[in-house]
């Protein structure tokens, strides 16, 4: 049985996505990522002095992410300000990006990554990671690779890619399971989350599916970074 | 811009060369027989040495760099200088080429003064600077502009060719700080503004080859 998706997408088809680098002139590096109805901008400031001082690390620099969901980004106004979800996502995005950045040259310093969700239609953490990876590269931070992220998942028992807001509330059978996966361009996983139920075989299949999707995302990120000097 | 004078832009993780013929230079890493980029920048290959010239990033202080900063604090044995990086610069009393009254440090350099200094040591405690030397010391007028620190090598040019060209054409004295601050000192304000325009032109067109000729053309046009 194949599921009919709302926008006639195939199971392993993502929503159309675009990227742009250098959207915020005042930031050291910045990028925009749009995937269907999800629009995210990321800005990188630093490396700069770490404040508060007690969090300094004299051995290496640190990455600090800041995820904000615009109050206007969802259908019903979201209450602005820090909340449990935003703080959790800060940490998750930080962990997803940390394996590829190398801040050993910047002891006692911090790199601030601000991720702002302008329009939310599910998959915001993945879009945020995609934008942040481009922004970090654009800021000239030493990195050994670039990460790409995609929200794979399962609707009832069918594996699908890039679940959107409507599909998140899939009513039938086992319902909807969301599995965001972040990978480097060489296919190493830096982040995987799972809430819901899935069999071991299907999880393996999902990872392979995400690997293929991340390759496409990486090509778009690469092109956006290479093109950002053209229009100057 | 034509295809020919455009240099290749590389992104982190991109494979630049394979095999043992090439050597990894600055901004690159050798892993599993492949040389990959560590930073976003322009690719340069010369004599089998592959390196990446960064396009962005904050200034990293190095010994022997000339930097321009402002005095932010006076202490018992010297001056604390803000040079635009996370560590402060410091000029000890002994690194001033004249007698200093210990009770009146402000007679030499006061808070808020702009100073051109040379870094002579970088250690855990901070960055030590000196103002002993030609062209170093307090700035008593002129125009200060800020550019991206990564473009400073282009502003200076090969063995100072670019900066000499600008100095000669604009009749100005120019001190370039490696931290991206540039001091322009001329007899006339128009000269200083022309020098500033030329420097901003160089920064904007920095990834073009044959830039010296372009700047010569720029001056010819400006003088008409």
Domain assignment present for A28: yes
Q: What is the pLDDT along chain B (224 residues), one digit of tens a residue?
A: 344 455 789 999 999 998 888 899 989 999 888 999 999 998 988 888 999 988 888 999 999 999 999 999 999 899 999 998 888 999 999 999 888 888 889 999 999 999 999 999 998 888 999 999 988 999 998 999 999 999 998 899 888 999 999 999 999 999 999 999 999 999 999 999 999 999 999 988 887 778 888 899 999 998 87
For residue B12, the chain A residues in CB contact (below 8 A) are 100, 137, 142-146
Give the tokens for residue B158.
């090969």
Q: Packing angle between helix B211-223 and helix B189-204, nearest 10 degrees?
A: 140
Encode burial over B5-34: b for 16+ CB neighbours within 10 A, e otherwise.
Answer: eeeebbbbbbebbeeeebebbebbbeeeee
Q: How many domains does chain A have?
A: 1
Cα A168 from Cα B72, distance rounded (Å): 55
For residue A21, the chain B residues in CB contact (below 8 A) are none
Helices (H), chain A: 84-97, 124-138, 165-168, 200-227
Are the Cβ atoms of B40 and A48 closer than 8 angstroms? Answer: no
> What are the pLDDT digits (tens) for A117-162?
999 999 999 999 999 999 999 999 999 999 999 999 999 999 999 9
Are the Cβ atoms of A108 and B39 closer than 8 angstroms? Answer: no
B18 beta partners: B34
Are the Cβ atoms of B56 and A28 closer than 8 angstroms? Answer: yes
Contact A155, A164 (CB under 8 A): no
Give the tokens for residue A101.
């950045």
Interface test with B, best of A26, A99, A141 (most B CBs within 10 A): A141
B121 beta partners: B128
Residue B157, sorted as left (phi over 0), alpha (psi -120 to 50) or beta, turns out to be: left
Contact A45, A112 (CB under 8 A): yes
Q: Distance, in angstroms, between A165 CA and closest chain B CA?
A: 33
Domain assignment present for A116: yes
Q: Distance, in angstroms, between B98 CA and closest chain A CA?
A: 34
Domain assignment present for A3: no
State chain B's maximal CA–CA distance in angstroms: 64
Cα B182 from Cα B199, distance rounded (Å): 9
Q: Distance, in angstroms, between B15 CA and closest chain A CA?
A: 10
Are the Cβ atoms of A229 and B207 closer than 8 angstroms? Answer: yes
Domain assignment present for A8: no
CA nearest neighbour of B131 among B74, B185, B91: B91
- Using CA atoms, how far residue A150 sits from A138, A179, A183, B134, in Å, is 21, 8, 9, 58
> What are the pLDDT digits (tens) for A59-84?
999 999 999 999 999 999 999 999 99
What CATH number does the domain containing A156 carry? 3.30.230.70
Are the Cβ atoms of B13 and A225 closer than 8 angstroms? Answer: no
Give the tokens for residue A155.
């609707």
User: Does the ipTM surpass 0.90?
Assistant: no
- Using CA atoms, how far residue A35 sits from A8, A17, A216, in Å, is 16, 4, 13
Are the Cβ atoms of A185 and B58 closer than 8 angstroms? Answer: no
Contact B51, B28 (CB under 8 A): yes
Are the Cβ atoms of B41 and A28 closer than 8 angstroms? Answer: no
Q: Distance, in angstroms, between B99 CA and closest chain A CA?
A: 35
Q: Nearest 5°: phi and psi at A147? A: -100, 150
Instruction: Find the domain containing A47 and state its range.
Output: 17-230
Q: Nearest 5°: phi and psi at B197? A: -60, -40
CA nearest neighbour of A41 among A124, A155, A143, A144: A124
Give the tokens for residue A171.
């009513």
């Amino acid at each position: 049985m194949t599921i009919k998706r709302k926008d006639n997408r195939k199971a392993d088809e993502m929503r159309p996505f675009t990227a742009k680098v250098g959207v915020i002139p005042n930031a050291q590096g910045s990028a925009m990522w749009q995937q269907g109805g999800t629009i995210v901008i990321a800005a990188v400031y630093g490396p700069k002095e770490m404040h508060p001082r007690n969090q300094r690390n004299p051995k290496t620099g640190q990455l600090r992410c800041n995820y904000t969901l615009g109050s206007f980004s969802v259908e019903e106004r979201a209450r602005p300000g820090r909340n449990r979800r935003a703080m959790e996502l800060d940490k998750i995005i930080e962990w997803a990006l940390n394996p590829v950045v190398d801040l050993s040259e910047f002891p006692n310093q911090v790199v601030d990554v601000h991720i702002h969700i302008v329009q939310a239609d599910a998959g915001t953490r993945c879009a945020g990671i995609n934008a942040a990876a481009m922004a970090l590269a654009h800021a000239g931070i030493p990195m050994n690779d670039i990460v790409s992220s995609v929200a794979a998942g399962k609707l009832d028992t069918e594996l699908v890619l890039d679940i959107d807001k409507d599909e998140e509330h899939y009513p039938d059978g086992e319902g909807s399971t969301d599995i965001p996966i972040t990978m480097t361009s060489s296919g190493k996983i830096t982040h995987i989350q799972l809430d819901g139920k899935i069999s071991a075989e299907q999880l393996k299949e999902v990872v392979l599916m995400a690997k293929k999707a991340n390759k496409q995302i990486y090509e778009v990120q690469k092109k956006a970074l290479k093109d950002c000097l053209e229009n100057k | 811009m034509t295809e020919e004078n455009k240099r290749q832009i590389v992104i982190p993780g991109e494979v630049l060369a394979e095999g043992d013929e090439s050597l990894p230079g600055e901004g690159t890493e050798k892993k599993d027989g492949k040389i990959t980029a560590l930073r976003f920048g322009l690719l340069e290959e010369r004599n089998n040495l592959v390196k990446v010239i960064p396009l962005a990033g904050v200034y990293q202080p190095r010994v022997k760099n000339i930097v321009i900063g402002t005095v932010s604090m006076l202490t018992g044995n010297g001056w604390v200088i803000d040079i635009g990086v996370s560590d402060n610069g410091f000029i000890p009393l002994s690194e001033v080429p004249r007698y200093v009254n210990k009770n009146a440090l402000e007679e030499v350099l006061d808070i808020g003064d702009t100073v051109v200094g040379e870094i002579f040591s970088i250690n855990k405690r901070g960055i030590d600077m000196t103002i002993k030397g030609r062209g170093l010391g307090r700035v008593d007028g002129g125009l200060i502009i800020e550019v991206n620190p990564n473009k400073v090598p282009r502003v200076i040019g090969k063995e100072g060719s670019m900066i000499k060209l600008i100095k000669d054409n604009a009749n100005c004295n120019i001190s370039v700080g490696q931290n991206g601050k540039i001091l322009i000192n001329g007899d006339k304000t128009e000269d200083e503004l022309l020098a500033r325009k030329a420097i901003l032109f160089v920064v904007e067109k920095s990834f073009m080859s044959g830039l010296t000729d372009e700047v010569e053309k720029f001056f010819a046009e400006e003088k008409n």
